[in-house]
Amino acid sequence: MEDSIVYTRLKTQNSSPLDFMVKIEDELKLDFSDVLFKPRPSNLKSRAQVSLEVDFTFRNGVTIRGTPIISANMDTTGTFEVAQVLSQYKCFTACHKKYSVQDWKEFGADHPEVLPYVAVSAGVSDQEFDLVSQVVNMFSDVRLICLDVANGYSEAFCDVIRKYRKSFPEHGIIAGNVCTGEMTEQLLNAGADIIKIGIGPGSVCTTRIQTGVGAPQLSAVIECASMAHSLGGYVVSDGGCSVPGDVSKAFGAGADFVMIGGMFAGHDESGGETVVINGLTYKQFYGMSSSTAMKKYSGGVSEYRSSEGKTV
C-alpha cells in the first residue's frame, strides 16, 4: 500500500486556521520487543573471545576508542561516579550539564584516567557554551561534546551545532534527538559526528503520550543509521533498552553506540534520592523534561508547556 496523504486544519495561537498536511506511513515499523535474532553458526569457542572495544574515526580526523555504551546525560545517570565505574570497562558517560566548571575542575584533577571516556553536555544557551569551552580547554583528554535539546527538529539547533563545530574542530560532537533519516542528514551536515536517535522511547519519557510524536525505536535506528553511514557519520540509539538483549538489538539494527538510562539508574553511583517503601529501597529516576527536573532546576514547568517526562 502506498503512503497516503491526509489534510487537516491547524489553528495557531496568533493566526487563522492553516492547511496542514500529514503523511500517513503504512509500512511496518518495529520496536525492540518485536524482533529476535535468528542464530547462525560461529567459529568462536566462547563469548570471552569477543572484544567489545571499537575504534571510531570522525570526519574531522578525531579518533576515539572504547566500548560503545554511553550512560545517558540525565542528572541521575550522567554522574561522575557512574563515569568512574564505566571507564574501567572503557564505556562512556555523557555527564549531565548541571555540573559547574569547579565540579569539572575537581573531578578532572582527581580522576584524569576517566576523562577520555566522558562527554561534556550542553544545550543551546550561551552559559552552557561557556562551560563547555572552559572544560575542554582545561582538559585535553575530554574529546566528546554532547548537545542535547528537547526538540532536535529545529533550524536553530542546527545553528548551535554549526557554532560548536566551528569552535571545537578537534572534538567529536554528539547531537539530538531525532528519529528520521532526513533530520539525521541535516544534523550531520551542520557538523555533528554522532546523532542521538530516539523520540520518546525512554522508560521515563512521556513525549509520545503528551505530543503524539515519535517512532518505533528499532526501525528509527535502521533508517537513521543507513543515512548516517552513507555520509560518514555515526548514530547512538538513545532509549528503549530495558533488558541487555535490547542493547544487542540496537547494535544489530545498525547503531554504533547505545545510550542507556534506566538500566543504570538503580545503582549506588547514580544520582537520585533513595527512598524506602515497604521495607524495599528504591532510587528516584526521572527524565530531564519531567516536572521533577524542571522544578529542581527552573523552579517549575513553564505555563506554555507540559511535562514530557515522569519520575519513578
CATH of residue 184's domain is 3.20.20.70
On whether residue 21 sits in a domain, the answer given is no
pLDDT band at 208 (very low <50, low <70, confident <90, very high): low
Q: What is the mean pLDDT of residues 175-195?
A: 97
Residue 102 has pLDDT above 80, yes or no: yes
11: which residues sit within 8 A by CB, 6+ positions away? 17, 18
pLDDT of residue 192: 98
Task: Tell me how far CA of residue 226 lies from CA of 6, 193, 198, 219, in angstroms.
Answer: 28, 14, 15, 11
pLDDT tens readout for residues 116-149: 999 999 999 999 999 999 999 999 999 999 999 9
Q: What percent of the chain has pLDDT over 70?
A: 79
pLDDT of residue 218: 96
pLDDT band at 212 (very low <50, low <70, confident <90, very high): low
On whether residue 290 sits in a domain, the answer given is no
Q: CA-to-CA distance for 245 and 111, rounded, in angstroms?
A: 32
On whether residue 37 sits in a domain, the answer given is no
Find the DSSP H helices in 70-147.
80-87, 101-110, 126-138
Q: What is the mean pLDDT of residues 42-58?
A: 93
Q: Which domain holds residue 71?
A: 52-273
Sign of CA dihedral 242, 245, 249, 250: positive
Number of domains in the chain: 1
* More confident of the two residues 205 and 50: 50
Q: Is 205 a catalytic site residue?
A: yes
* More confident of the two residues 200 and 144: 144
Catalytic residue, from 207, 224, 241, 292: name it.
207
Q: What is the pTM of this model?
A: 0.84
pLDDT band at 309 (very low <50, low <70, confident <90, very high): very low
On whether residue 40 sits in a domain, the answer given is no
Q: What is the mean pLDDT of residues 159-185?
A: 97
On whether residue 201 sits in a domain, the answer given is yes
Catalytic residue, from 95, 146, 205, 224: name it.
205
Q: What is the mean pLDDT of residues 150-163?
A: 93
Specify the residue for cell string 539525521. Answer: 184
Q: Is 93 a catalytic site residue?
A: no
* More confident of the two residues 129 and 203: 129
DSSP, collapsed to helix, strand or coil, labels residue 56 as strand
On whether residue 308 sits in a domain, the answer given is no
127: which residues sit within 8 A by CB, 6+ positions away? none
* More confident of the two residues 298 and 60: 60
Burial class (CB in 10 A: 0-12, 13-18, 19+), 81: middle
pLDDT of residue 304: 47
* More confident of the two residues 208 and 176: 176
* More confident of the two residues 143 and 76: 143
Q: What is the mean pLDDT of residues 144-157?
A: 93
Q: What is the mean pLDDT of residues 98-124?
A: 97
On whether residue 19 sits in a domain, the answer given is no
On whether residue 306 sits in a domain, the answer given is no
Residue 295 has pLDDT above 70, yes or no: no
Find the DSSP H helices in the chain.
80-87, 101-110, 126-138, 155-167, 181-190, 207-211, 217-230, 244-252, 291-298
Residue 5 has pLDDT above 70, yes or no: no
Q: How high does pLDDT run on average in the chain? A: 86
* More confident of the two residues 174 and 280: 174
